[in-house]
Chain A
Amino acid sequence: MNGTPGRIEPPGFILPQAVMEREKMKISKSLYSYYLILPALFIYSLFFVLPAIVGLFYSFTDWRLDREAIHFIGWDNFNRIFTDKTLVLAIKNTFIFAIVTVIGKNVLGIALAIGLNMRLKSKNLLRAIFYSPSILSVLVISIVFTPLLRSEGTINSLFEAVGLHSFSQAWLTNPSIVIWTIAAVSIWQHTGFQMAIYLAGLQSISKEYYEAATIDGAGAWMSFSKITLPLLLPAININLMLTLIGGLKVFSEVFVLTGGGPGNASQVVGTIILRAFGEGSWGLGTAVNTLLFVIVTIISIPLLIFMRRKEVTE
């Protein structure tokens, strides 16, 4: 039975047991009708799910802006994705960006959260400072960083001022490092968000564990690996998911900082879709989108199932 038995005590009269049970059946099944789901279901299905399904079909066509007829062309779009140099590079860059940002945002996020969970005088101010860039638009941060990252820009001048000439780089124009630079800007902006989730997780860990561990003679590393990390697991899970999915969907950072350049050196899946859209190769663009959908789903679903199982066993 769905309800919690023995909790309903309507004032004034007592129902026989059988009637009670029947009433509760009706409550859980029919009284909560699906009407209230319909508006959300309608909007979500029409504007999110339907385009995804339509996309599955259009991925196998030569759909173009400048042609009326649409033909089925089998796997041609996907063959092109895996043979075209730019498209392969875009997929590779997307993965580099995702992996680098997942590691950067989470390692730094945990470090900041642990530091700012200590009894520091300025902790509230510091928390606000580290969190603040993540509430701003990616557009704002990317534009602010453009002049800083130029060859003759502020960051290189700083390196040169302290004598570290070898550190100065053509951050946004050197094809072999540009995607790493973009990832670094994203880490700079969003680590504060991950930090806030880790802080919330840390604050739910009782201080007594640490006191007991200290009494038993555990060092800082022992406390961290045996208490903090395991109890922080829910926060780590959610942060890994958020940063990984967000990383694979990257678009705005690349679009504003380099537009995919120099040449095509920093193209990612998100910017390739826009380029295909702009060129009118809609079938190809949709196929790239479908591929992203498949990649993200294949990676996230096992992670989600794993997370659920962990949660149950805890």
Chain B
Amino acid sequence: MGFSRKLAFRNYLVEGLLILASLTIILPLLMMIFGSFMTSSEVLRFTLKLPEKWMFSNYTQVFKEGGLGRAFLNGLLITGVSSIVNIITSSAASFILVRRETKWSSMLYLYFFMGLIAPMSMITTIRVLQWMGIYGSITSVILIYSALNTAFSVFLYSGFIKSIPKALDEVAFLEGANMFDVFFRIVTPLIVPVNATVAIMVFMSVWNDITIPLYFLTDSSNWTMPLSVYNFYGKYSRDWNLIFADLVLTSLPVLILYLFAQKYIVSGLTAGAVKG
């Protein structure tokens, strides 16, 4: 009895501390959300208060002046296509890497794995794109993101495909199927949850990124939302209500994705935690 009461007390104490700590996370975010509805003079106090009058017009204003419609579509195109390219190429590659079990395939796995560690070489990537004549284009950025995310995706897919018994393939092969049949009709249906995890992880990292657009999207009509917001932040540095509205708009797509796809994010993290 004494022990369980002590335990209950400890739990209350921990819960109280954690709720206090969580305020440090919530308050700055609330300040951004409330601030995005204030007038430009009210917001400058940077305090945590509900807006005196809710200025929904801030949102329509930044949407027009910040060129966000275009940026939203650019971001959608870049994130969408690079996720799809990444899913198809990485899952196919991982399938062979896992199944061949030769010296070459494990060396190739390490070759891909290096991409998780090594930083990308910015300036010479521009050089390579210039040689190909595609520097500054949306296509080039899609290809860069596909390349950058290959390592992580191959890592996730390989872990999962290893758990699919090879006997499934062998039966199919003896029945006369070829590699493509086995991959598309046996393995692909089994890795749908991993596809979702990879799609969401790639989407979030690509959507939020500013580094690649900064180096590689020279034309402002190709910019994604975070870069447009950064540019807007430089130009309208006094109108914090508009800046906050801009930040909220940029964050909405990932927040919505997070709310609907939480379980796939968790399974991606678990793969990392359990396999190391």
Contacts and interface: CB of A to CB of B under 8 A. Distances in A.
A286 B126 CA distance: 11
Interface stretch (B23-31, B50-58, B66-74, B189-197): B23-31
A51 interface: yes
B22 A238 contact: no
Contacts of B240: 147
Interface string B141-176: 001101110110010000000000011011101110
Contacts of B233: 143
B211 A252 contact: yes
Given A54-B124, A136-B251, 12 more contacts: A28-B99, A32-B100, A47-B144, A51-B125, A54-B127, A112-B21, A130-B22, A154-B31, A188-B25, A235-B276, A255-B214, A289-B122
8 contacts: A10-B171, A33-B179, A44-B150, A54-B121, A129-B26, A196-B269, A249-B119, A293-B121
Interface of B: 11, 14-15, 17-19, 21-22, 24-26, 28-29, 31-32, 46-47, 85, 88-90, 92-93, 95-97, 99-102, 108, 111-112, 115-125, 127-128, 143-144, 146-148, 150-151, 154, 166-167, 169-171, 173-175, 178-179, 183, 204, 207-211, 214-215, 226, 229-230, 233, 240, 243-244, 247, 250-251, 254-255, 258, 266, 269-270, 272-276
Grouping DSSP codes into helix (H, G, I), strand (E, B) and loop, the A interface class, with mixed when no group exceeds half, is helix
A116 B121 contact: no
Interface in A92-144: 112, 115-116, 118-122, 126, 129-130, 132-133, 135-140, 143-144
Contacts of B175: 10
Nearest to B257: A135
**What 6 pairs across the A-B complex have the smallest Cβ distances?**
A234-B276, A137-B208, A47-B147, A40-B93, A40-B89, A55-B121
A297 interface: yes
A147 B118 contact: no
Interface stretch (A72-80, A174-182, A198-206): A198-206
Contacts of A121: 15
Contact of A307 (B24, B169, B276): B276
Contacts of B122: 273-274, 277, 285, 289
A245 B120 CA distance: 12
Nearest to B128: A51
Contacts of B14: 115, 118, 120
A89 interface: no
B17 A200 contact: no
Given A144-B31, A198-B273, A41 B100 contact: no
Given A47-B143, A196-B266, A234-B276, A120 B210 contact: no
B143 A118 contact: no
A139 to B, nearest CB: 5
Given A126-B19, A238-B273, A31 B179 contact: yes
Nearest to A310: B276
A64 B204 CA distance: 35
A34 interface: yes
A296 interface: yes
Contacts of A24: 170
A130 B25 contact: yes
Contact of A137 (B102, B151, B171, B226): B226
Residue picked from B90, B102, B123, B174, most chain A C-beta under 10 Å = B123
B29 A133 contact: yes
A197 B11 contact: no
Contacts of A49: 111
Given A10-B175, A122-B15, A140-B251, A55 B123 contact: yes
Contacts of A23: 174
A49 B124 CA distance: 11
A129 B20 CA distance: 12
Contacts of B230: 139, 256
B28 A145 contact: yes
Contact of B118 (A50, A145, A251, A297): A297
A137 B250 contact: yes
A139 B210 contact: yes
A170 interface: no
A207 B150 CA distance: 37
A153 B32 CA distance: 14
Residue in B17, B270, B276 with the greatest tally of chain A CB atoms within 10 Å: B276
Given A29-B102, A52-B124, A54-B121, A115 B18 contact: yes
Contacts of A251: 211
B128 A46 contact: yes
A148 interface: yes
Contacts of A32: 95-96, 99-100, 179
A31 B173 contact: yes
Contacts of A286: 121, 123-124
A51 B120 contact: yes
B96 A36 contact: yes
A132 B92 contact: no
A58 interface: yes
A23 B169 CA distance: 13
A7 B170 contact: yes
Given A139-B230, A252-B210, A41 B119 contact: no
From A24, A39, A304, residue with most partner B Cβ within 10 Å: A39
A148 B99 CA distance: 53
A90 to B, nearest CB: 14
Contacts of B97: 37
